[in-house]
């Protein structure tokens, strides 16, 4: 029986090239009691047109589309939190897609393990490799949220009962670690239980405009360290250890960039 309703919030900003694949992967889910909420966050490409055309074929009675000026991912996700009516929630970015049994597996694992949050591996389907690979027997440890740079993707399944008044921090809007802050809020403040499943994976698209290709990469990595300090100050008891790890990572990145520049200069 699929009595529990699962709300899926899809966020899209200039993902017109990929949003149809994302939505159609949701349409094909073996779990059918779905509420689909789609936000076009002020896209300037063909995203809105593609979304409207695609959802004409939505198999779900409760399918909603919203569009407005660009506000950023955290604003949009908070709006979704205020509108959803499901027993569970999944956020999906508009350039990713999910296998047809993704939601059913996460839901079944939540019931079986009595878990408030269920997450899976992240699969870079273009690079044919896992991001932050976790072994089959992995048991969730909150320290890995820092040592592995947040192992829970935003597309994990969440029992809405555990949300309480949790929101995405608008100070971290369009910043790295916005979802890390959200997960720590649920796990530490709301005492959410977490379970990792090896039975499925999120299909994740790594785009060429990622942070590693940014010409201002050092500035951006410094900003991630500042954000990290802001987050750990809110939640982590041993925040000095967490910050020490992140600072060392930042220094290693700078050293790597210097070596890369020197190497380029020798060619």
List the structure tokens of 103.
């939601």
Instruction: Indicate if the pLDDT at residue 214 is higher than 60.
Output: no
**6-204: CATH topology:** Spore Coat Polysaccharide Biosynthesis Protein SpsA; Chain A (3.90.550)
DSSP-derived pairing of the beta strands 129-131 and 117-124: antiparallel
Q: How many residues in total does the chain contain?
A: 267
pTM summary value: 0.89
Helix ranges, the chain (H): 19-27, 47-54, 73-83, 102-113, 144-147, 178-184, 217-235, 239-266
Phi-psi region of 253 (alpha: psi -120 to 50; beta: other; left: phi over 0): alpha
Instruction: Indicate if the pLDDT at residue 168 is higher than 80.
Output: yes
- The pLDDT value given to residue 115: 98
Domain boundaries, the chain: 6-204, 211-266
What confidence category does residue 208 fall into, taking pLDDT thresholds of 50, 70 and 90? low
């Amino acid at each position: 029986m699929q009595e529990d309703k699962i709300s899926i919030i899809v966020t899209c900003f200039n993902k017109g090239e990929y949003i149809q694949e994302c939505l159609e992967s949701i349409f094909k889910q073996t779990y059918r009691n779905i509420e689909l909420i789609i936000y076009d966050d002020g896209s300037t490409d063909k995203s809105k047109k593609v979304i409207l055309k695609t959802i004409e074929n939505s198999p779900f009675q409760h399918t909603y589309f919203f569009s407005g000026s660009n506000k950023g991912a955290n604003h949009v996700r908070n709006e979704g939190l205020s509108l959803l009516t499901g027993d569970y929630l999944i956020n999906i970015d508009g350039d990713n897609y999910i296998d047809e049994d993704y939601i059913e597996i996460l839901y079944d694992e939540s019931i079986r393990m009595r878990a408030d949050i269920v997450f899976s591996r992240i699969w870079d389907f273009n690079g044919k490799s896992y991001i932050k690979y976790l072994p089959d027997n992995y048991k969730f440890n909150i320290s890995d949220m820092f040592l592995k740079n947040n192992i829970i993707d935003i597309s994990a399944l969440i029992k809405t009962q555990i949300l309480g008044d949790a929101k995405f921090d608008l100070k971290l809007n369009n910043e790295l670690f916005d979802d890390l802050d959200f997960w720590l809020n649920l796990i530490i403040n709301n005492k959410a239980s977490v379970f990792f499943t090896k039975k499925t994976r999120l299909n994740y698209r790594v785009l060429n405009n990622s942070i590693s290709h940014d010409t201002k990469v050092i500035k951006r990595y410094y900003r991630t360290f500042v954000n990290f300090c802001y987050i750990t100050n809110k939640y982590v008891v041993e925040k000095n250890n967490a910050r020490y790890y992140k600072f060392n990572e930042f220094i290693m990145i700078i050293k790597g960039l210097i070596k890369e520049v020197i190497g380029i200069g020798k060619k």
